[in-house]
């Protein structure tokens, strides 16, 4: 199965099993807007909890905030979003399809990388044990040729992005012979800037409505509240403010399912530090955040850092944590050193002081900021892609199973009476009542137990508990484990502790060493 086929299956699975639906589907949906179904919302909430607790509970110097989506319009002038939150777009004249010029070039470079990796894999196969990968990469003429091609384009691309040189961006697209995937032609328009913010009107037009924006990032709510939180919480630098909330971007090309949406959710943490210490904190947060991803056990080799070619208008250092999605390594989280750009500009635009008095140095200053910014929906897609598994069974059958880390699973336990009679449903309900105050529990009595197991596998439920004749005699049940499909007999009074042990977040948190 190709990665493309796998991704299609994953998207279909998300819909079939109540994880993600297209928004307003009865009206044929709305571009790049999605709704989370009964299982999706549970998984999403669990992801948010994993993030929130590891930030706010496990760091004494990080507190939370919940700011509004609407903010005073001046916020976005001060933050630079009105003038600089743009993407370069280009249209193909034949297909009339619109693309991000930078993404077309990045995809072209990724294809070269793929070619190189294929060469290396071929050579590894050919040389077997004696293969010296480093030497091969350094000496193979084909690899060297591809690398040189890529490097030349990369240098031009980085410069064009930093200089906002759209003529050059277009020229790179032409020189690389990039064609529109729909029409197959290279009949491109000029490259133009496109502002990604959604705007709307507040107040009625008669009494002079104000144009306001739907926030394109949650961070500004934290910046404008910086002193409110610092003073009321008596916070001492370094300290952080964490927030989870919706953000909106009028993305030019919305594709790849919940990877790029027009309405999405962010989990952001702004960490306020003494000027001059920001690089040290940036490095520290890079490591902390990478450990958070890796603790989920999806394989360390599936993550990489990717430093930005073009720094955003506010940053002096920026890296992404990328995960290997079925469509390649892509950004899940950004770790940015934002300098004092935002606070200084808010000070300038509002006329209000944004300084902090440091009791240790006796100085007042505008703090520097290191932020960690992760999309809930991209994280959701990371977890779904990592968990989705198709297995051939010994019986010749096959099954689809979502191998979620147990703490994140939407449903922790399914309780299944073997048959719908002889007091089994009542006993099963007792078990549901025993567990439901602490865990999300499902009760299912329809179809054969085998079919019910499959349905629970498909939504990633770690435990199925079956009530049978013996249960009524000795108060034991069959517990079936999702990943191994192993079945063991367990006494009902041991169930709660067993589920707690396996599904607790504590297991994940301990791996973080915080
Ligand atoms: P990209 O380059 O993919 O457009 P970005 O660099 O603009 O992303 P940031 O501004 O750093 O993204 O936003 C922080 C995080 O918010 C991203 O790492 C991503 O997880 C999430 N995010 C950003 N845009 C979207 C979107 N349109 N849909 C879903 N998540 C998003």
- What's the whole-model pTM score? 0.88
pLDDT tens digit sequence for 210-237: 889 999 999 999 999 999 999 999 999 9
Asked whether residue 255 carries a pLDDT value surpassing 80, the answer given is no
Distance 477 CA to ligand 1 centre (A): 46
Percentage with pLDDT > 70 across the chain: 99
Helix boundaries (H) for 265-401: 278-294, 341-350, 376-387
Atom of ligand 1 at shortest range from CA of 249: 27
pLDDT at position 207 is 61
Query: Which pLDDT belongs to residue 308?
Result: 85
The answer to whether 94 and 174 have CB atoms below 8 angstroms apart is: no
Distance 124 CA to ligand 1 centre (A): 36
What digits encode the pLDDT tens for the residues 166-181?
Answer: 999 999 999 999 999 9
Instruction: Tell me what pLDDT residue 206 has.
Output: 59
CB distance 251 to ligand 1 below 6 Å: yes
Q: Chain centroid to CA 120: how far?
A: 30
Give rounded-to-5 percent helix, strand, coil for the chain.
45, 25, 30
The residue whose CA is least distant from atom 4 of ligand 1 is 260
Q: What's the longest Cα–Cα distance across the chain?
A: 80
Using the mean position of ligand 1's atoms as its centre, give its distance from the Cα of residue 247 in Å: 10
Mean residue pLDDT across the chain: 95
Which residues, at least 6 apart from 256, have a Cβ–Cβ distance to it below 8 Å? Answer: 325, 327, 330
Q: Give the residue, by CA position, lying nearest to ligand 1 atom 31.
A: 375
Res. 40 pLDDT band, cuts 50 70 90: very high
266 in contact with ligand 1, CB cutoff 6 A? yes
Instruction: Using the predicted structure, report yes or no on whether residue 205 has a pLDDT greater than 80.
Output: no
Does 333 contact ligand 1 (Cβ within 6 A)?
yes
């Amino acid at each position: 199965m190709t990665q493309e086929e796998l991704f299609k299956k994953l998207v279909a699975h998300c819909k079939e099993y109540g994880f993600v639906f297209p928004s307003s589907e009865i009206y044929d949906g709305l571009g790049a807007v999605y709704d989370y179904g009964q299982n999706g919302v549970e998984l999403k909430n669990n992801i948010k909890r994993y993030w929130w607790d590891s930030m706010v509970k496990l760091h004494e110097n990080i507190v939370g905030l919940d700011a509004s989506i609407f903010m005073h319009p001046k916020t976005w002038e001060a933050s630079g979003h009105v003038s600089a939150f743009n993407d370069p777009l280009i249209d193909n004249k034949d297909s009339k399809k619109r693309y991000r010029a930078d993404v077309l070039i990045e995809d072209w470079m990724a294809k070269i990388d793929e070619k190189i990796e294929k060469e290396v894999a071929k050579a590894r196969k050919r040389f077997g044990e004696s293969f010296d990968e480093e030497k091969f990469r350094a000496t193979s003429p084909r690899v060297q040729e591809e690398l040189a091609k890529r490097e030349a384009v990369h240098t031009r691309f980085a410069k064009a992005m930093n200089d906002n040189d759209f003529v050059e961006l277009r020229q790179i697209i032409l020189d690389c012979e990039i064609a529109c995937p729909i029409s197959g032609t290279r009949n491109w328009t000029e490259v133009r800037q496109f502002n990604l913010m959604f705007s709307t009107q507040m107040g009625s037009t008669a009494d002079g409505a104000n144009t306001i924006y739907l926030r394109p990032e949650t961070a500004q709510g934290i910046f404008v509240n910086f002193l409110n939180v610092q003073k009321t919480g008596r916070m001492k630098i370094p300290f952080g403010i964490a927030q989870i909330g919706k953000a909106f971007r009028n993305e030019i090309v919305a594709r790849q399912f919940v990877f790029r949406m027009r309405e999405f959710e962010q989990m952001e943490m702004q960490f306020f530090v003494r000027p001059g210490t920001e690089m040290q904190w940036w490095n520290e947060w890079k490591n902390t955040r990478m450990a958070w991803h890796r603790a989920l056990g999806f394989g360390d080799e599936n993550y990489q850092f990717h430093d930005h070619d073009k720094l955003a208008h506010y940053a002096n250092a920026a890296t992404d944590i990328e995960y290997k999605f079925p469509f390649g390594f892509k950004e899940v989280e950004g770790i940015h050193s934002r300098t004092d750009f935002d606070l200084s500009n808010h000070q300038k635009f509002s006329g209000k002081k944004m300084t902090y008095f440091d009791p240790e140095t006796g100085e007042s200053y505008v703090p520097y900021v290191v932020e960690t910014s992760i999309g809930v929906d991209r994280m959701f897609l990371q977890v779904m892609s990592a968990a989705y598994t198709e297995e051939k069974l010994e019986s010749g059958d096959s099954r689809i199973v979502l191998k979620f880390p147990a703490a994140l699973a939407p449903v922790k336990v399914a309780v299944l009476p073997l048959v719908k009679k002889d007091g089994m449903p009542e006993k099963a309900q007792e078990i549901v009542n025993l567990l439901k105050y602490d865990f999300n529990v499902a009760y299912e009595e329809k179809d054969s137990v085998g079919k019910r197991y499959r349905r629970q596998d498909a939504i990633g439920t770690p435990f199925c508990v079956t009530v049978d004749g013996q249960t009524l005699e000795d108060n034991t049940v069959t517990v079936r484990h999702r990943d191994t499909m192993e079945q063991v007999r367990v006494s009902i009074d041991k169930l709660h502790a067993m589920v707690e042990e396996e599904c607790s977040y504590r297991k994940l948190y301990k791996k973080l060493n915080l």
